Structure 1
Amino acid sequence: MMIDLEPVQCEQLLVDNYLGHLAYMANNEPHVVPSTYFFDKDERSILCFASNGHRVNSLRKYNKVSFQVDSIKSFRHWKSVQVHGIFQELTGDSAKSCLKRFSDGVQRTIDNKNAERPHFLSHFSGRLQEAEMPVVYRIAVTKMIGKSVEDLT
C-alpha cells in the first residue's frame, strides 16, 4: 500500500542518506544527475558542491530545482522524498563554512549507515585549502513530498 510520508519522515529520509538526484533545466530540457549531499536540518536546506560547468551555469540561469532521495529495499518496500527548492550559490567564508559542514555531515551520515570511511571525503576537506574552491551551493527547500510503499503480506 502506498502512503504519503509526514514532513518529519521526509526530513528523516534526507538526514539518513547522502546520495540523491538533482533535477534542473538546461537549454529548455530537463537534466537529472546523481549528487552527494548533506541535509542541513537547522537551515532546512540541502548542501552540495560542483565544478564550474554545464550544471552550475544552468543553475545560475534557472534556479528552481528538484532533488530526490530514495531508500529502496525492494519493489514492495521503498521510501522516496522529492524536494522542490531554490539554488543559492555561496561564496567566500560562507562557502568554506558550508563545504566543511557538508564534509563533516556526509561523514557522520556514512558512519551511521555503514561505518566506512570513503577516501573521497579527504578530497572534500582538501578543497577547503585550495585557492580555487568548487562551486558550493545550497538548495533552499520550498516544498517536500514523500511516498512510501510497504507490502505487509
Structure 2
Amino acid sequence: MLGKLTQPEIEALLSRQITGRLGCHAEGTTYVVPVNYVYKNGIIYAHSGPGKKIEMMRQNPEVCFEVDEIKSIFSWKSVIAWGRFEEITEIDEQQQAMQALIHRIMPLVEQPTGHPSHGIIESEYDLGDKIDVIVYKIIIDKTTGRFEQN
C-alpha cells in the first residue's frame, strides 16, 4: 500500500534521521549531496567545510532536502522538504547548532576523537586553523511525505 505521511509523521521522520540529501541549484547545475543534520522546530541545522554546496547555496539559497527510512523495497518512508539556506554567523547560535549536531552524531562515532571536520575533537586547540567550519540552517517552507508498506 502506498500512502501520504501526515504532518506529525513527517516531523517524526525528520527528527529521527541523522543523514539526509541536500539538493541545491546554481548557474544551471543541480547538486545533491548527503549531509548530517539535526531537525528542530521546522529548521534543519547542518555544517560543512567550504566547497561546492556552500558556494551554490550562497548563490541560490532555495534548496531541497530529502530524508528516508528504508526497511525493504516495499517498506519505506520518505520526506522531501523545501526551504531556504541561511548561514549562521551569530556565535551563540553557531555553538548551539554544533552542540546539537555533536550530541546527535556522537552515538554513531566509533572513535570519539579525530573528527575535526565534524567539530568532534579532544580539545578546542586540535581544530586550529585547518578547518573552516560553516554552520548553516535550512528554514523549511513546505514538506511532503510518502510511504509504502506491505
Does TM-score exceed 0.5, indicating one fold?
Answer: yes
Give the match for residue 57 of structure 1. 55
RMSD, matched Cα: 2.2
Deviation at 1:131, TM superposition (A): 5.7
Q: Is the 2:25–2:56 Cα contact (8 Å) retained in structure 1? A: yes
Within 5 Å, which residues of 2 pair with 1:3-152? 3-40=3-40, 43-93=41-91, 94-107=93-106, 111=107, 116-119=108-111, 123=115, 124-126=119-121, 129=124, 130=127, 133-151=132-150
What do the CA deviations read for 1:67-94 (whole angstroms, capped 9, x no partner)?
1001111111110001111101002412
Q: Is the 1:86–1:139 Cα contact (8 Å) retained in structure 2? A: yes
Structure 1 pair 118–44 and aligned structure 2 pair: CA distance change class (3 A): farther
**Count of aligned positions:** 142
Unaligned runs of 5+ in 1: none
Structure 1 pair 144–119 and aligned structure 2 pair: CA distance change class (3 A): farther
Report the AA paired with residue 85 of structure 2.
F
Unaligned runs of 5+ in 2: none
Higher deviation after alignment, 88-97 or 135-144: 88-97
Superposition TM-score, scaled by structure 2 size: 0.84
Does the residue aligned with 2:50 lie in a helix, a strand or coil? coil
Higher deviation after alignment, 11-20 or 125-134: 125-134
Deviation at 1:127, TM superposition (A): 9.6
What do the CA deviations read for 1:46-102 (whole angstroms, capped 9, x no partner)?
111111121111101100111100111111111000111110100241212211121
Structure 1 pair 86–24 and aligned structure 2 pair: CA distance change class (3 A): same
Report the AA paired with residue 9 of structure 1.
E
